[in-house]
Structure 1
Amino acid sequence: MKMFGGSNSKSGSSGSVGVDTLIGRQTEVLGDVRFTGGLHVDGKIKGKVIASADKASALSVSEHGSIEGDVRVPNVVLNGSVVGDVHASQKITLASKARVTGNVYYRIIEMEGGAQVNGQLVHDGGAGAAENMSGIVPRPGAEAASTDELSEARRVKGIVNG
């Protein structure tokens, strides 16, 4: 099965990932989802969606699919909704019915007319991709932050999350 994305895709073309895991339209997952390979979501996920460090891992969310939680996947094709930050260390494609309420961190972005992002679009040139996938996300202008400021931010994050 091919990732959704068009009927004119050639099978076996480089960059395409098959669907290894499918979350059906009538399915709701409560909790974090960790995967490798390809994940296609037609249903609902309430939790984080995290791919392995494999640069080929991909997530596709149909127009019926939704995620309530942060997404950390190298390649994302979104036509549904995400409430949370989306971290695509390789490429994100926002189709016409895509809805993101949160920030989008990307290296390459494709955005069709009609797609909506209620948050910031933050370009990641690739140098910080490993840190982004680990959960430590530099904010724009944060490159001048001192070690003390970063330690304080991690301490506060631990208090808020703990």
Structure 2
Amino acid sequence: MFGKSKGALSQDPSHAHTLVSRSTEIVGDLHFTGELIIEGKVKGNIYAADDSAALIRIAENGSVEGEICVPSAVINGLVQGDVRSATHIELAAKAVVVGNIYYNLIEMVMGSEVNGNLMHIGSSQSGTKLIGADRNKLPFQRSSIKQN
């Protein structure tokens, strides 16, 4: 009676979906697994373990003010801060990123906008633990980037 039914959905957190709706504003850092969909506003940094299957989706009306460190990202809204993606990042037609993007594989649709630098990282450099925790050891330190 109280046991799991055979047809019950898996409670595996890597398959979890979290939605920040249009009328929601979150202030503070987020750490997540699974899929995070942002249609509202987040003022803070967003992190997911690089060895996970985590995915962040920022909808057309969604916005993030802070750093994003995730394995995969699909951006179609506004990001004000650096984005670090170890696996794949997609910038959709309405994407606006005001900050640097560190990527392993990037896909940009016509109309997307980046106001910052695009920096390719190899798979040996792509770990979020390394990127998020110890940026000073990376070969592409901010001080080594020449500004015009």
Quickly name the TM-score band, shorter chain normalised. Answer: 0.7 to 0.9
Q: Which runs of 5+ in 1 are unaligned?
A: 1-16, 146-162
- 1:154 corresponding residue in structure 2: none
* TM-score for the superposition, normalised by structure 2: 0.79
Structure 1 residue 54 displacement after superposition: 3.2
Structure 1 residue 19 displacement after superposition: 5.7
The size of the alignment, in residue pairs, is 126
* TM-score for the superposition, normalised by structure 1: 0.73
Higher relative contact order (CA 8 A, sep 6+): 2
- Describe the shift of the 1:116–1:36 C-alpha distance in structure 2 as closer, same or farther (beyond 3 A): same
The separation in 2 between residues aligned to 1:108 and 1:133, in whole angstroms, is 18
Contact 2:84 2:103 in 1 (8 A): yes
Report the 3-state secondary structure (helix = DSSP H, G, I; strand = E; otherwise coil) of the residue aligned with 1:53. coil
Report the 3-state secondary structure (helix = DSSP H, G, I; strand = E; otherwise coil) of the residue aligned with 2:23. coil
Q: Which moved more, 1:130-139 or 1:80-89?
A: 130-139
- 1:3 corresponding residue in structure 2: none
- 2:84 corresponding residue in structure 1: 87
Structure 1 residue 27 displacement after superposition: 0.1
Report the 3-state secondary structure (helix = DSSP H, G, I; strand = E; otherwise coil) of the residue aligned with 2:104. strand
- 1:134 corresponding residue in structure 2: 133
After TM superposition, which residue ranges in structure 1, 4 or more long, deviate above 2 angstroms?
52-55, 137-140
Q: Which runs of 5+ in 2 are unaligned?
A: 1-13
Identity %: 41
- Describe the shift of the 1:52–1:135 C-alpha distance in structure 2 as closer, same or farther (beyond 3 A): same
